[in-house]
Amino acid sequence: MELKKALRKEVLTKRTHLSEYEWKSKSESIANELLKLDIVNQAKNIASFVDFRNEVSTDAINRWILSSGKSLFLPLIDMKSRTMTFYKIMDLNELVRSNYGIMEPNPSIHEIIDPHRIELFITPGIAFDPNGYRLGYGGGFYDHLFAGLGIEIPKIGLAFDLQCVTDLPLEPFDMRITHLVTEYGVKKF
Q: Over the stretch 49-89, which tens digit does the pLDDT of each residue have?
A: 999 999 999 999 999 999 999 999 999 998 888 889 999 99
pLDDT at 152: 85
pLDDT at 150: 74
Bridge partners (DSSP) of residue 180 are: 157, 187
DSSP-derived secondary structure for 73-135: EEEEEETTTTEEEEEEES-GGG-EE-TTS-EE--TTTSEEE-GGG-SEEEE--SEE-TTSBEE
Strand, coil or helix: what is 140?
Answer: coil
Among 36-45, 68-77, 95-104, 152-161, name the one with the lowest average pLDDT.
95-104
Ranges of each domain in the chain: 2-188
Q: State the average pLDDT over residues 119-147.
A: 94
pLDDT at 2: 87
Residue 116: alpha-carbon gap to chain centroid:
17
Please state which CATH number belongs to domain 2-188. 3.40.50.10420
If phi > 0 it is left, if psi is from -120 to 50 it is alpha, else beta; for residue 83 that is beta
